[in-house]
Structure 1
Amino acid sequence: MTIVKVVDGQDGIYNEAGYQLKGSHSPNSEGLSPRELLEASLGLCVSISLQKIMNYDGVEYDANTIHIEVTAAKPEDKSNRFSDFHVRVTLPPSLDEAYKEKLKSVTERACTIGNTLKAGATVELVEAQM
């Protein structure tokens, strides 16, 4: 569970371990905006999936060489949603090309966040009772 609450005028993002991150109302400022959090969620899911698959396959690699960049794009009709997510992945250079292709394919199927975004999800807003 993730909790977002305003404390002293600042959006805070919490999990069950406590405060984790400062939320921001605008991108590229102190804290992360909703768009940046969504991009980060997809990027982290891809990173975790890549590492789990390579570990499962018994592949030796330098995790410090993994780099993921995610950019969300809105549709041309300017509707209030993201229509595309571009994920650029830098994989460990020690991997051969055939394995890199397999890894990308399996990672796309393994990442829960990516699968959710591809399929769409129901979002229900309900008022909590204090």
Structure 2
Amino acid sequence: MTTIKLVQGQNEIYNEAGLQIIGSVAPNQSGLSPRELLEAALGLCVSISLQKVLARDEIEYDTSSIHVEVSAVKAEDGTNRFENFNVRVKLPPTLDPTYKKKLLTVIERACTISNTLKNEAIVETIEIEGF
């Protein structure tokens, strides 16, 4: 579970281990904005999925060769949502081109966050008392 607390005007983001990061109201400031957190969640999920598949396939590689970038694109019709996520993955250069192509498909399907975003999850907001 993730918890957000407003402390002295600052959004603090916690997990069960404690304070992890500061939330920002806009991109490219101290802390991460909601857009950046969403991009980070997708990118981290893809990176973890990639590492798991490479481990499963017993592929040796330089871990510093993996790089994931995510850009969320707002809807052009003016609705308040992201309509596209561009995920760019730098794979280890030692991999066979055929394997690379298959790997991109496998990691996209293995990532829970990308599967959730593709399938329009239900979001339910309820009030809790006694906090």
Question: TM-score, structure 2 length as denominator?
Answer: 0.98
SS of the residue 1:126 aligns to: coil
SS of alignment partner, residue 128 of structure 1: coil
Q: How far is 1:88 from its partner?
A: 0.6
Q: CA deviation at 1:108?
A: 1.0
Hey, what does 1:20 align to over in structure 2?
20
1:11 has 2:11 as partner:
yes
Aligned counterpart, 1:107:
107
Matches within 5 A, 1:112-127: 112-127=112-127
Secondary structure of 1:83's partner? Answer: strand
Tell me the percent identity: 62
Which residue is 1:41 aligned to? 41
State the Cα RMSD in Å: 0.6
Q: How many residues of Structure 1 are paired with residues of Structure 2 in the alignment?
A: 130
Q: What stretches of structure 2 of length at least 5 have no aligned partner? A: none
- Give per-residue Cα distances to partners, 1:107-126, cap 9 Å, x unaligned: 11100000000001000000
Query: Equivalent residues in 2 for 1:74-85 (5 A)?
Result: 74-85=74-85
TM-score, normalising length: structure 1: 0.98
Deviation at 1:96, TM superposition (A): 1.0
List structure 1 runs of 4+ shifted beyond 3 angstroms.
none
Matches within 5 A, 1:49-68: 49-68=49-68
Shift in Å, 1:91:
0.4
Consecutive unaligned residues in structure 1, runs of 5 or more: none
